[in-house]
Amino acid sequence: MAIEFSEEAQKEYEEICKHYPDKDATLLPALHLAKREFKTATPEVMEYIASLVGVDPIKVLNVASFYTWYPKEKEGKYVIQVCSTLSCSLMGAETVVDYIEKKLDIKAGETTADGKFTLKKVECLGSCGTAPVMQINDDYFESLTEGKVDQILDDLK
C-alpha cells in the first residue's frame, strides 16, 4: 500500500475505535482523519480507508460521495466557503461572493492558478445571526464586510 496514516493519526484512529461496538461506524471519523492527512479522497485514499475500517472500497465511495465535507477533487490550500442560504443572502452574501470572485479572479467552484484559494458557495453554516458568514478551512469568519474580507484573505500566506 502506497499510502497510510501518520503514526499520530493511526493512534487517534485506534482511540476512536474504542467508542464504537461496530467498526463500520468508524468510517466517517476515518474519512475525517483522511481529509486531514491526505486532503483529497482519491480512489487510492478510499481503498486505504476501506482496508483500515474493514469494508469494501465501494462502500467508502458510496458514503464519501454522499457528504460534501470530503473533497473528491484537489482543492486549494485555503477553501473559502461562503454561506449563501437565506439569512446570509438577505445580508448580502451574493455581494460577498461577487467581491471575492473579482478579488481572486475566479468563479465560485474554481481554484486560483497558484493553488492557494478555492471558492465555494455553500448551504447554511448555522451562523445566521452574524451574517454574512464564510468558513475558511476549519475557521468561521462572521459579520463580513468588503474590508474584512480583504484583511482576512490578505493575511493568509
Partner 1 sequence: MEEKYFLKNKDNPESKNIDFYVKNGGYKAWESVLEGKSPDEVIGEVKKSGLRGRGGAGFPAGMKWSFVPKDSDRPKYLICNADESEPGTFKDRYIIEREPHMMLEGIAIASFAINCHQAYIYIRGEFVYGAKVLDEAIAEAEARGCLGKNIMGTGYDLDIAVHRGAGAYICGEETGQIESLEGKRGWPRLKPPFPAVVGVFNSPTVVNNVETLANLPLIFNRGADYFAGIGPNAKNTGPKLYCVSGHVKRPGLYEFPLGKNLNELIYEDCGGIRDGHELKAVIPGGSSVPVLRPEEIDVSMDYDSLAAIGSMLGSAGAIVMDDTTCLVDSLLNLEQFYAHESCGQCTPCREGTMWMVKILSRIEKGQGRMEDMDLLDDVAKNINFRTICPLGDAAAMPAMSFIDKFRDEFEEHIKQGGCPIQKDKSIKVPNADA
Shortest separation between residue 157's beta carbon and partner 1, angstroms: 20
CA gyration radius, the chain: 18
Q: Which stretch binds partner 1 (CB under 8 A): 4-12, 72-80, 107-115, 132-140?
A: 132-140
Q: Give the x/- contact pattern for partner 1 in 52-81, rule: CB under 8 A.
A: -x-x------xx--xxxxx-----------
The size of the interface with partner 1 (CB under 8 A), counted in residues, is: 51
Shortest separation between residue 22's beta carbon and partner 1, angstroms: 6
Shortest separation between residue 114's beta carbon and partner 1, angstroms: 25
Q: Give the x/- contact pattern for partner 1 in 10-49, rule: CB under 8 A.
A: ------x--xxxx-xxxxxx-xx-----------------
* Length in residues, the chain: 157
Q: Give the x/- contact pattern for partner 1 in 88-127, rule: CB under 8 A.
A: -xxxx-xxx--------------------------xxxxx
Q: How many angstroms separate the CA atoms of 41 and 122, rounded? A: 19
Check residue 132 for interaction with partner 1 (CB under 8 A): yes
HEC string for the chain: CCCCCCHHHHHHHHHHHCCCCCHHHHHHHHHHHHHHHHCCCCHHHHHHHHHHHCCCHHHHHHHHCCCCCCCCCCCCCEEEEEECCHHHHHCCHHHHHHHHHHHHCCCCCCECCCCCEEEEEECCCCCHHHCCCEEECCEEECCCCHHHHHHHHHHCC
- The site for partner 1 (CB under 8 A) is made up of 16, 19-22, 24-29, 31-32, 53, 55, 62-63, 66-70, 84-87, 89-92, 94-96, 123-132, 135, 138-140, 143-146
